Copies of this chain bind each other. A is one copy, B any other.
């Protein structure tokens, strides 16, 4: 799905919810869809400030939970900083490997994990909305660097 189609779909979703379409909300959605990776709420505020598009911090912060509720955004916790979000682009939910040292985020998909989660939810009669798996550790390069550092220190 390309950006235009996605934007149309999202706008449609908003229109058919009980929400009003306002220039601010359109601007926020448009901006979100042009951000390639993860972003924080404040990144959004800053990005909107820099262009002529108008949407205040309060409005941005108010819209984010709504977009999560609608399944358009998903919260991604990096664990070190404040909240980050990403656009849900189905199909293919992905999980994250996060390097503790350099902060690199490697995305991967794993059907086996998806299936296992569905089974667990059935066992517990839990209705899954979203899930997020984050594996923290060291990426290939940082393993090398960390090991070198450790050797020279001892």
A97 an interface residue at 8 Å Cβ cutoff?
yes
A33 to B97, CA, bound (A): 29
A37 an interface residue at 8 Å Cβ cutoff?
no
A134 to B95, CA, bound (A): 11
A23 an interface residue at 8 Å Cβ cutoff?
no
Q: How many residues of A contact B (CB 8 A)?
A: 36
Q: Which residues of B contact A100 (CB under 8 A)?
A: 129
Q: Contact mask A100-139 → B, CB, 8 Å, 1/0?
A: 1000001010101100110011011111111111111111
Q: Which residues does A use to contact B, with CB under 8 Å?
A: 75, 77, 79, 83, 95, 97, 99-100, 106, 108, 110, 112-113, 116-117, 120-121, 123-140, 143
* 17 interchain pairs, CB-CB under 8 A: A75-B79, A95-B120, A106-B124, A108-B123, A110-B116, A112-B116, A113-B116, A113-B117, A113-B133, A121-B137, A125-B140, A126-B140, A129-B137, A129-B138, A130-B135, A131-B135, A132-B133
